[in-house]
């Protein structure tokens, strides 16, 4: 089994541990957590775990055996280090496979196009699709030119100022990735290609999930690199004939069984009340899934490892959940919520790190004004690493159902200006992260998780 090659060195901090019955002040505990992960025995451990996962198991597509291998490895190491209540919770997840794929420019010249099929897409059939091309920059333009799209491959090339507002661009551009195929099919198109949702590109296509409107035929859907989408746009502006050959073996197989992975540090006096920290263990099948979201999963695991090493328990239980199949719409998390909905009244906060583990600034938080004041107070315990900022929008796909029921939410606020340069692409590797920033991110995550879990009361709603 692959995880046998990933056994970590034993971390021992016994001589510096606290006894549960002799617990120091919250600030002292925060200082010790920060010291342990940034200067002490856990320095570099989170990065080590992430690199071992990403290098040895690699990408972890929903429904793929590699995701199950990742769950098994993390679970075994969690058990070996002595974490509590380590277990998996079964979920039913989709099983889409990419297969072989390629796109070629036939006219006005012959060239290979950089493309990636989109998750949930159908294939082209064994003969592929060769057709002329219509390039549009918006759904409105497609509506105006709908008659021209019949029996063509529609290319969506939306424009956005990624340099100034990368996070603001993502949603509007992704709309063409997720819904472009059905809009094109409505006009009689044969396939849909969309500009990658990327803030920077070196001819690197970015994949992601798409969905079909059942009112229209399912046609193949893929992303193109920014450079090639713009090139096709320029061909059209010069009134040059464009023709593309597209071949995709993509298909959706029957659903399979997957697993959310859970571990805990039980609360000392209020064990039935919970603080949840999380990240998703699945990834796309390109790159290594290191940034999205191996890093978020690893810092959530590290929260429990640090507390266990220091022999410290908060009043409430701190639970780590590593989600399955976030990339296909939070599938595992939705089923987890259904199974645990009765915990809504006792859940103090749900935290998900899924926007990178670059240099941390603090916390993104979603909750009432009263709760925000408490979070602001806790933030001062992070002054030593200059991560005291508290900003809005503490959301995430996997914690969404809890937020809809009024549970406060949080995500890591970090310097992720380059996140969408690597997101869902072959560039999402361990190389885009560094050990020091990951340690600091783990410190932020651990301090907030412990401090909130040790409050006298649940966060107000």
Whether 326 is a known active-site residue: answer yes
Burial 277-294 (b: 16+ CB within 10 A, else e): bbbbbbbbbbbbbbbbbb
What is the residue whose two structure tokens read 């340690």?
Answer: 439
Residue of 101, 264, 273, 326 marked catalytic: 326
pTM for the predicted model, two decimal places:
0.94
Task: Give the Cα-Cα-Cα angle 187, 190, 196 (nearest 5 degrees).
Answer: 95
Q: Compute and round to an integer the Cα radius of gyration of the chain.
A: 23
Rounded CA separation 220/235 (Å) = 23
Q: Name the 3-class secondary structure at 105.
A: strand
Residue 359 DSSP one-character state:
S
Q: Look at residue 24 in the predicted model and tell me its pLDDT.
A: 80
pLDDT < 70 stretches in the chain: 1-23
Rounded CA separation 322/380 (Å) = 28
Q: For 369-405, write each residue's pLDDT tens digit.
A: 999 999 999 999 999 999 999 999 999 999 999 999 9
Rounded CA separation 116/102 (Å) = 8
Rounded CA separation 275/56 (Å) = 31
438: Cβ–Cβ under 8 A, 6 or more apart, which residues?
A: 46, 47, 50, 295, 298, 299, 357
Q: Report helix, strand and coil shares of the chain as percent, to nearest 5.
A: 40, 25, 35
Q: Which two tokens stand for residue 103?
A: 């796109």
Among 41, 116, 459, 38, residue whose Cα is nearest residue 284: 116
Among 144, 143, 222, 156, residue whose Cα is nearest residue 186: 143
Q: Look at residue 26 in the predicted model and tell me its pLDDT.
A: 76
Q: Look at residue 21 in the predicted model and tell me its pLDDT.
A: 40
Q: Which two tokens stand for residue 339?
A: 């199974």
Residues of the chain with CATH 3.40.630.10: 26-96+254-454
User: Do 116 and 247 contact (CB within 8 A), yes or no?
Assistant: no
Q: Name the 3-class secondary structure at 387.
A: coil
Angle between helix 435-453 and 45-56 (nearest 10):
110
User: Do 199 and 169 contact (CB within 8 A), yes or no?
Assistant: yes
Which sign does the torsion angle of CA 125, 130, 136, 140 carry? negative
Rounded CA separation 286/456 (Å) = 45
Q: Look at residue 306 in the predicted model and tell me its pLDDT.
A: 98
Kind plus residue range of the DSSP H or E element containing 176: helix 166-186
Q: Look at residue 166 in the predicted model and tell me its pLDDT.
A: 82
Q: Look at residue 202 in the predicted model and tell me its pLDDT.
A: 95
What is the CATH T-level fold of the domain 99-249, as seen in this structure? Answer: Glucose Oxidase; domain 1 (3.50.30)
Architecture per CATH, domain 26-96+254-454, reads as 3-Layer(aba) Sandwich (3.40)
- Residue 189: CB atoms within 10 A of its CB come to 28
Residues of the chain with CATH 3.50.30.30: 99-249
């Amino acid at each position: 089994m692959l995880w046998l090659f990933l056994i970590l060195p034993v971390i021992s901090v016994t001589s510096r541990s606290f006894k549960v019955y002799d617990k120091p002040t919250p600030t002292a505990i925060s200082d010790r957590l920060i010291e342990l992960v940034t200067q002490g025995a856990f320095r570099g451990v989170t990065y080590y775990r992430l690199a071992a996962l990403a290098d040895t198991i690699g990408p972890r597509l929903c429904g793929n055996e590699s995701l199950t291998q990742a769950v098994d490895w993390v679970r075994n190491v969690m058990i070996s280090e002595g974490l509590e209540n380590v277990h998996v919770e079964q979920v039913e997840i989709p099983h889409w496979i990419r297969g072989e794929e390629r796109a070629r420019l036939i006219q006005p010249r012959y060239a290979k196009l950089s493309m990636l099929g989109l998750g949930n897409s159908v294939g082209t059939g064994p003969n592929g699709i060769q057709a002329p091309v219509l390039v549009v920059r918006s759904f409105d333009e497609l509506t105006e030119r709908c008659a021209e799209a019949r029996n063509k491959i529609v290319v969506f090339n939306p424009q956005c100022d990624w340099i100034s507002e990368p996070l603001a661009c993502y949603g509007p551009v992704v709309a063409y990735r997720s819904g472009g195929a059905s809009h094109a099919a409505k006009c009689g198109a044969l396939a849909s290609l969309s500009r990658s949702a990327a803030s920077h590109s070196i001819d690197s296509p970015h994949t992601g999930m798409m969905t079909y409107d059942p009112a229209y035929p399912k046609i193949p859907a893929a992303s193109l690199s920014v450079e090639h989408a713009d090139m096709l746009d320029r061909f059209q502006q010069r009134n040059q004939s464009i023709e593309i050959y597209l071949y995709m073996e993509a298909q959706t197989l029957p659903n399979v069984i997957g697993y959310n992975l859970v571990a805990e540090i039980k609360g000392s006096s209020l064990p039935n009340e919970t603080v949840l920290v999380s990240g998703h263990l699945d990834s796309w099948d390109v790159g290594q899934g290191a940034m999205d979201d191996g890093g978020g999963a690893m810092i959530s695991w590290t929260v429990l490892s640090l507390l266990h090493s220091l022999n410290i328990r908060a009043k409430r239980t701190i639970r780590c959940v590593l989600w399955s199949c976030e990339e296909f719409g939070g599938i595992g998390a939705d089923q987890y919520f259904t199974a645990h909905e009765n915990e809504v009244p006792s859940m103090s906060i749900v935290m998900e790190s899924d926007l990178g583990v670059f240099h941390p600034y603090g916390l993104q938080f979603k909750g009432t004004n009263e709760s925000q004041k408490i979070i602001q107070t806790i933030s001062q315990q992070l002054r030593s690493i200059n991560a005291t900022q508290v900003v809005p929008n503490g959301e995430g796909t996997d914690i969404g159902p809890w937020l809809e029921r009024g549970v406060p939410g949080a995500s890591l606020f970090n310097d992720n200006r380059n996140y969408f340069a690597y997101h869902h692409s072959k560039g999402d590797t361990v190389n885009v992260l560094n050990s020091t920033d990951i340690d600091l991110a783990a410190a932020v995550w651990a301090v907030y998780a412990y401090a909130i879990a040790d409050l006298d009361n649940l966060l107000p709603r």
